[in-house]
Every structure is written in structure tokens, then in C-alpha cells.
Copies of this chain bind each other. A is one copy, B any other.
Amino acid sequence: MRLAIPEVVVLRLPEYLRALEQLAGEGVYLVSSQELGEKLQVTPAQIRKDLSYFGHFGKQGKGYDVKRLIGELRRILGLDRDWRLAVVGVGNLGRALLRYGGFSQQGFKIVAAFDTNPKVTGKKVGPVVVQDVAEMPKVVKSEGVHIGVVSVPASAAQEAVDRLVQAGVRAILNYAPATLRVPPSVYIRHVGPVSALESMTFYLKDVKG
């Protein structure tokens, strides 16, 4: 029962969490699946079903305690602890990620950055000093890196993930526009500014303009 939770459900949880955090910020203490569904454009039944995979968080006749549910979702998603990130590739995009402050709010902490270019290694960017990739195995271990963020050019992406995997990183977020191979034990996900746009245009293309 507790096992085999559909991935789509897991993908919706952060959306619920965001909406709840917004409500909490507005001073809302209680919310029904109906109200939350309207805010998120999701059916109330879906919200209740999704949450039922993990426990009983609501009160009949009242709804959900917003703060409590935020706490539960954060726990379920593993956001009730710190996660240590390493950024590989300090180009335009890597630099932006390093300087972006929004990670810390959800417990993500950048603890290392790597590059091969001697023009950037040794320099401080955002919260860390950029190190040569040769240092990766040592630093990943000493800094306890959980997640690797790949922001190198597509042509260097496979080598970057190979090095990360070799160094012991089990989860990778890939910003490079490339299809990458990792062992089954490693969790990898592709993101990036362009990806979201590419499927969006499918729905736009028929409209005039």
C-alpha cells in the first residue's frame, strides 16, 4: 500500500506545497480539497486521492490544516532536511545557478562548483570557490554532495555525469541539451530553460501570430 506511488502523484505534490505555502502567507489556516483544487485547477477528488497515499491529513467537515499539511508534504518530499548540491560547469548558466539565492529556502545548499577552465577555477562565484574537476572525487566525499547539477555544454555533458557518478553522486539534474546515460542506480532528470518552451509551442503553433 505504502509502496508503488505513481510518479505523477509525486510530481503534483510540489505544486500542492507551493499553493499551500502561498495560502499560509495570506494567513489562511484551513483549506478544503475543493478550495485548493480551484486554486490549482485540479479536481478535489484528485487532491484527496493523492494525499491518501501517504496518510490521513484532513478533518471531516473542516478540511486540511494548512500549516500541518505543509509540514507533512515537506516531510514526504524529503524537504525537511538539507540537500547538498555541486554545480559542474561554471559558464553562463552555471554562474547564474550559483548566484541564484532561491535554493536555500527549500533546504538546498550549493557546497561546491567545478570547471575545467583555469580562467574560472580558483575564483569565488556565489557561495563557493570554483575547483578543477580533478578535485571532484575528493570534494564530493568531504562536502557530502547529494545532487550534481550539470551546466556544461552539451558536448561535455556525458563526461561530466560520468565523473559525478564515479565520484559517488546518485542524483543528477541536467541542464545540458543532451541525452545522457547513467547506471540504473543513478537518478537523472533533464531540465533547462528551453525544454519547457519546446512543448509549449506545440499548443501555440496553430494560433495566429
Q: Does A45 contact B (CB under 8 A)?
A: no
Determine the chain B residues whose CB is within 8 A of the CB of A195 once the complex forms.
Answer: 14
Q: Does A67 contact B (CB under 8 A)?
A: no
Minimum CB distance partner of A184 in chain B: B41
> What is the 8 Å Cβ interface bit string for chain A, positions 75-115, against chain B (1 contact, 0 not)?
01111010100000000110111011111011010000000
Q: Assess the B13–A202 pair: CB atoms within 8 A.
A: yes
Q: How many copies does the complex hold?
A: 2
Q: A19 CA to B15 CA in the complex, in Å? A: 29
Q: Assess the B14–A198 pair: CB atoms within 8 A.
A: yes
Q: Does A200 contact B (CB under 8 A)?
A: yes
Determine the chain B residues whose CB is within 8 A of the CB of A200 once the complex forms.
Answer: 147, 171, 173, 187, 189
Q: Does A17 contact B (CB under 8 A)?
A: yes
Determine the chain B residues whose CB is within 8 A of the CB of A13 once the complex forms.
Answer: 198-199, 202
Q: A14 CA to B191 CA in the complex, in Å? A: 11
Q: Does A201 contact B (CB under 8 A)?
A: yes
Q: Does A48 contact B (CB under 8 A)?
A: no
Q: Assess the B197–A97 pair: CB atoms within 8 A.
A: no
Q: Does A146 contact B (CB under 8 A)?
A: yes
Query: Of the candidates B81, B99, B193, B202, which one forms a contact with A97 in the assembled complex, judged by CB atoms under 8 Å apart?
Result: B193
Determine the chain B residues whose CB is within 8 A of the CB of A202 once the complex forms.
Answer: 10, 13, 76-78
* Chain A 146-200 interface residues, beta-carbon cutoff 8 Å to B: 146-147, 154, 170-171, 173, 177-179, 181, 187, 189-200
Binding site for B on A (CB under 8 A): 10-11, 13-15, 17-19, 21-22, 39-40, 76-79, 81, 83, 92-93, 95-97, 99-103, 105-106, 108, 144, 146-147, 154, 170-171, 173, 177-179, 181, 187, 189-205, 207, 209
